């Protein structure tokens, strides 16, 4: 009996110790789990705060991409391989950084006047201005016109300058014209030449319009019109005294003003040393055929100084004055020759039976006309980006 009681006491003690050990183990596990949950929560909060700006940036980028789509941005072929890291094709699980970088890689940055709105015209470029004097002598019945000087004329030659001279008419008579001397390689010429229209009664003089046309002299081809000025003489209040005027030149209506416009995009890749020219489309081209239409194509020349380096051309669009080309042409241009490089774009009319006709030209370089220089600078300022702009075709 005594032994049984002692055994029972021993078993009870062992059971109590086991319960105590189990309770202690459960308590330790509970504390450990609570501590682990606290650490995980703290880490989540820290990581959330750290990643929050990146998520907001991603949201902003997506919103920006949506707005860009509404503008119908044009995508070109330039720099497509640069949209994803080397050796890894793009997928739908790109990181926030890759997403933000891709937005600046292939979006077209349109310059003013280059939106896909056919109602807007090309950039109104400045053609310079001219200074002249006009006066009438009642005693001699003579109209005196003095051509004094020009200022800020656009460059028409490959060398970045022009050879300007001035033609004078008394409209509506176009048979009798007078001309100044040619000033070689000068964008701010001084002529200081006097011209006399003798034997004109005052009544007839007031019915005339003084027309001045500034042109760039070309020895081997047709002279290029730069700009014009027209002044009805009946609007001059005191024609009996010499009056001096500064007048801004306007596009010549018998030349560049009726040749149409061309939408071109440029993309400069400094890593590959290439300029990609995308001929997008033209509008309101001058009709060169008897049927009132044209068969246009575009010819491109890469020029280094006055030397022709490379030639390319588009396909011909039959019987169309508003053709869409969408053709891209890469040119290799090392960085050290950029300032001496000109890209000549010529819109031609294809003729099967005779010589092809020139509809109009564009000279793109850092020293061409104001609109061309703006496009060139926009291209250089936004590398690896297609920059599109409308250009008025010139004679």
Give the global pTM. Answer: 0.45
Task: Specify the pLDDT at position 272.
Answer: 94
CA–CA distances in Å: residue 132 to residues 188, 202, 236, 263, 348? 14, 20, 14, 36, 37
Residue 125's closest CA among 364, 381, 380, 359?
364
Give the span between the Cα atoms of 4 and 10, in whole angstroms: 10
Q: What is the DSSP string of 4-63?
A: HHHHHHHHHHHHHHHHHHHHHHHHHHHHHHHHHHHHHHHHHHHHHHHHHHHHHHHHHHHH
Give the span between the Cα atoms of 80 and 97, in whole angstroms: 17
Instruction: Please list the pLDDT of the chain residue by residue as tens digits (395 residues).
Output: 444 555 555 555 565 667 677 777 777 777 777 676 666 665 555 444 444 333 333 333 333 333 333 333 333 334 433 343 334 334 433 333 343 333 333 434 443 333 333 334 444 567 899 999 999 999 889 999 999 999 999 887 767 788 999 999 888 887 778 999 999 999 999 999 999 998 889 988 888 899 999 999 877 666 778 889 999 998 888 888 899 999 999 887 654 446 889 999 999 999 999 999 999 999 989 888 877 889 999 999 999 887 899 999 999 999 999 999 999 999 999 999 998 899 999 999 998 877 888 898 999 988 777 788 899 999 999 999 999 999 988 87
Give a three-class secondary structure readout of 289-331. CCCCCCCEEEEEEEEECCEEEEEEECCCCCCCCCCEEEEEEEE
Tell me the three state secondary structure of residue 156.
coil
Task: Specify the pLDDT at position 307.
Answer: 87
Q: Pull the structure tokens for residue 151.
A: 């200022």
């Amino acid at each position: 009996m005594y032994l049984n009681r002692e055994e029972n006491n021993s078993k009870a003690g062992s059971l109590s110790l086991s319960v105590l050990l189990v309770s202690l183990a459960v308590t330790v596990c509970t504390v450990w789990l609570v501590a682990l949950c606290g650490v995980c929560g703290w880490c989540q909060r820290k990581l959330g705060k750290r990643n929050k700006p990146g998520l907001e940036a991603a949201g902003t980028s997506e919103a920006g991409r949506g707005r860009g789509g509404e503008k119908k941005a044009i995508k070109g072929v330039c720099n497509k391989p640069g949209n994803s890291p080397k050796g890894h094709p793009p997928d739908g699980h790109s990181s926030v950084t890759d997403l933000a970088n891709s937005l600046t890689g292939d979006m077209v940055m349109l310059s003013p006047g280059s939106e896909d709105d056919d109602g807007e015209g090309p950039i109104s470029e400045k053609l310079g201005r001219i200074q002249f004097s006009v006066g009438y002598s009642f005693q001699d019945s003579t109209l005196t016109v003095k051509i004094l000087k020009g200022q800020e004329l656009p460059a028409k030659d490959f060398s970045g300058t022009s050879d300007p001279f001035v033609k004078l008419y008394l409209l509506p008579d176009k048979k009798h014209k007078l001309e100044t001397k040619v000033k070689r390689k000068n964008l701010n010429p001084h002529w200081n030449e006097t011209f006399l229209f003798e034997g004109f009664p005052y009544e007839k003089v007031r019915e005339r319009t003084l027309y001045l046309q500034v042109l760039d002299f070309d020895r081997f081809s047709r002279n290029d019109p730069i700009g014009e000025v027209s002044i009805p003489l009946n609007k001059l209040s005191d024609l009996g005294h010499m009056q001096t005027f500064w007048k801004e030149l306007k596009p010549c209506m018998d030349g560049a003003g009726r040749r149409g416009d061309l939408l071109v995009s440029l993309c400069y890749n400094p890593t590959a040393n290439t300029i990609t020219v995308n001929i997008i489309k033209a509008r309101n081209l001058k009709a060169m055929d008897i049927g009132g239409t044209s068969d246009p194509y575009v010819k491109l020349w890469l020029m280094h100084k006055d030397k022709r380096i490379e030639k390319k051309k588009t396909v011909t669009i039959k019987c169309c004055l508003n053709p869409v080309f969408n053709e891209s042409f890469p040119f290799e241009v090392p960085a050290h020759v950029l300032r001496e490089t000109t890209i000549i774009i010529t819109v031609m009319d294809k003729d099967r039976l005779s010589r092809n006709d020139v509809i109009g030209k564009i000279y793109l370089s850092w020293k061409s006309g104001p609109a061309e220089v703006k496009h060139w600078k926009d291209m250089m300022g936004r590398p690896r980006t297609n920059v599109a702009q409308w250009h008025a075709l010139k004679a």
